[in-house]
Amino acid sequence: MTALVETAPTTPTTTAPTAPTGGPLVEARTQLAEACRHLGLAAGMYDLLAQPRRELTVSIPLRRDDGSTEVITGHRVQHNYSRGPAKGGVRFSPHVDLDEVRALAMWMTWKCALLDVPYGGAKGGVVIDPRNYSTAELERVTRRYTSEIAPLIGQAQDIPAPDIGTDEQTMAWMMDTYSVSRGHTVLGVVTGKPLALGGSLGRASATSRGVVHVALAALEHLGIEAGRATAAVQGFGKVGRGTARFLAEGGVRVLAVSDQYGGVADPRGLDVPALERHVDRHGSVVGFATAIDNADVLTADVDLLVPAAVEGVLHAGNAGEVRARLVVEGANGPTTTEADRVLAARGTLVVPDILANAGGVTVSYFEWVQATQAYWWSEDEVEARLALRMRQAWEGVLTESLEHDLTLRAAATSLAVRRVADAHTQRGLYP
């Protein structure tokens, strides 16, 4: 069964909510409501932006290697496309649910607007734990998911990319499946592809590089010298691993890291290249250094904390124990609204996801530009343009925050929401 749902606002939300809690979508709407209040936008604009414009839920029949059949659920949500094609990753995780995908799609809209890349926001999710499936099974799931969401995606409509549990191989299968259905190769339909299939130099490391550009700028703002700074990183996947590597290369001592299996710590600083070799051999950070609880990584005695795993890990129950002076959100939505308040009251600077992890979509945009023009840039060019965009975005958000006495999250969200609301107004779609 495939249900195509055009969601012009269906929930009767006539005014911005005040202080709801509970789950990423509620968090995302709370942030939007605060931005709308700050910007003095009408309730109608909140209602428009609080809902996805379009969403599709699909059933994916999978023939398993043992001959049995399983039916897997997938989603693709387009939150907004007022500024250009919808854009955002596809997540393969057993924890995917539709409200989470809706929140992630909304954050993509703000992220693209904040970095001024000409996209709206989207996200996809498939309810599957990739670790329990063979490569051949994952290929079948990816191809069928792509066929099912094909009515929504396209290089001018909606451009997927990797997220949790997916990678450049997933993108290669998506690109191939979509291209076969169109009868010709469409390089611009996904980003985060392998280099041999129109990927961009620098995309694989772009999110982590961007996190570290912003982290170093924020440390400087706080008067903390990188060479004297310490850090902890939660998550050692595509984002966390590169973040640890680039922080160490920037002189920051990484004292603790974790993945789903647990954490490791070394008060002298972890040897990150050796840790990476350990993970390549053993599939986890566990066993590399002294074991610590995953939860303790978040409250480690460091200057900088980078949550780079999943949503909601900093919450009312642990925010008061965070010792870092600076939190830079590598993950999307790692800090709940309540935790945000606690951290702000304690003077902890939080650099929000839509700024901190925007390096990924920025280089995805560069990849799409290159792929659609079939003209490739050097790695130096990609890195220089990424560094410039991240620096400019950081400075813009910091200035907005200082001028209006807003948290960095409120400042970033307000800047982004204003751009999207302006696009709607100027296109005449609203009021």
Ligand X SMILES: O=C(O)CCC(=O)C(=O)O
Ligand Y SMILES: NC(=O)C1=CN([C@@H]2O[C@H](COP(=O)(O)OP(=O)(O)OC[C@H]3O[C@@H](n4cnc5c(N)ncnc54)[C@H](OP(=O)(O)O)[C@@H]3O)[C@@H](O)[C@H]2O)C=CC1
Q: Print the binding letters for residues 269-308 with ligand Y: x by CB under 6 A, - otherwise.
A: ---------------x---------x-------------x
Cβ atoms within 10 A of the Cβ of 210, count?
A: 31
Sheet holding 326-328, edge to edge: 290-292, 262-265, 253-259, 230-234, 304-307, 326-328, 349-351
Q: Does 370 bind ligand X (CB under 6 A)?
A: no
Residue of 235, 245, 253, 340 that binds ligand Y (CB under 6 A): 235
- 238 catalytically annotated: no
> Beta partners for 350?
327
Nearer to ligand X, 35 or 108 (CB): 108
* Interaction of residue 87 with ligand X, rule CB under 6 A: yes
- Residue from 331, 398, 410, 416 binding ligand Y (CB under 6 A): 331
Q: Which stretch binds ligand Y (CB under 6 A): 52-60, 145-153, 255-263, 385-393?
A: 255-263
DSSP H helical ranges for 63-130: 98-114
239 touches which of ligand Y, ligand X, none (CB within 5 to 8 A by kind)?
ligand Y
**Residue 324 three-state SS:** coil
Beta bridge partners of 351: 328
The correct pick among 332, 335, 337, 348 for binding ligand X (CB under 6 A) is 332
Residue 153 three-state SS:
coil
User: By CB under 6 A, which span of 55-63, 77-85, 220-228, 254-262 interacts with ligand Y?
Assistant: 254-262
The sign of the torsion formed by the CA atoms of 300, 305, 306, 307 equals positive
Work out whether 146 is an interface residue with ligand X (CB under 6 A): no
Using Cβ positions, the residue closest to ligand X within the complex turns out to be 89
31 binds ligand X (CB under 6 A): no
DSSP 158: E
d(CA 421, CA 162): 28
Q: How far apart are CA 200 and CA 196, in angstroms?
A: 9
Q: How far is CA 209 from CA 45, 193, 199, 240, 368, in A?
A: 34, 18, 17, 10, 19
**At which residue do the structure tokens 């130096």 appear?**
380
By beta-carbon proximity to ligand Y, the closer residue of 45 and 76 is 76
357 binds ligand Y (CB under 6 A): yes
Q: Is residue 85 a contact residue for ligand Y (CB under 6 A)?
A: no
- Nearer to ligand Y (CB atom), residue 280 or residue 405: 280
Give the interface segment with ligand X, choosing from 82-90, 132-140, 216-224, 317-325 (CB under 6 A).
Answer: 82-90
For residues 54 and 156, give the distance between their C-alpha atoms in angstroms, rounded to a whole number.
15
Map the footprint of ligand X across residues 243-302, applying CB under 6 A: none
How are the residues of the chain apportioned to helix, strand and coil, as percentages rounded to the nearest 5?
Answer: 50, 20, 35
- By CB under 6 A, tell whether 360 contacts ligand Y: yes
The piece of 44-52, 62-70, 325-333, 396-404 that touches ligand Y (CB under 6 A) is 325-333
Q: CB under 5 to 8 A by kind: which of ligand X, ligand Y, none does 294 bind?
A: ligand Y
**Tokens coding 168:** 């450049």
- Determine which residue in the list 200, 357, 370, 401 makes contact with ligand X, applying CB under 6 A: 357
Three-state SS for 196? helix
Nearest CB to ligand X, comparing residues 335 and 357 = 357
Which entry of 87, 111, 123, 193 is annotated as an active-site residue? Answer: 123
Determine if 336 is a binding residue for ligand X (CB under 6 A).
no
Query: Residue 88 touches which of ligand Y, ligand X, none (CB < 5 to 8 A by kind)?
Result: ligand X
Residues 186-215 that bind ligand X (CB under 6 A): 191-192
Q: How far apart are CA 384 and CA 228, in angstroms?
A: 26
How many residues are listed for the chain in this entry? 431
Q: Name which of 79, 76, 32, 75 is nearest 53 in CA terms.
A: 79
Question: 381 exposed, middle or buried (CB, 10 Å; 0-12, 13-18, 19+)?
Answer: middle
Residue 430: CB minimum distance to ligand X, A:
26
**CB 164, min distance to ligand X, A:** 9
- Confirm if 46 and 121 have CB atoms less than 8 A apart: no
Active site residues: 123
Binding site for ligand X (CB under 6 A): 87-89, 108, 111, 161, 163, 191-192, 332, 357, 360-361, 364
Binding site for ligand Y (CB under 6 A): 162-165, 207, 234-240, 258-261, 284, 294, 308-310, 330-332, 357, 360
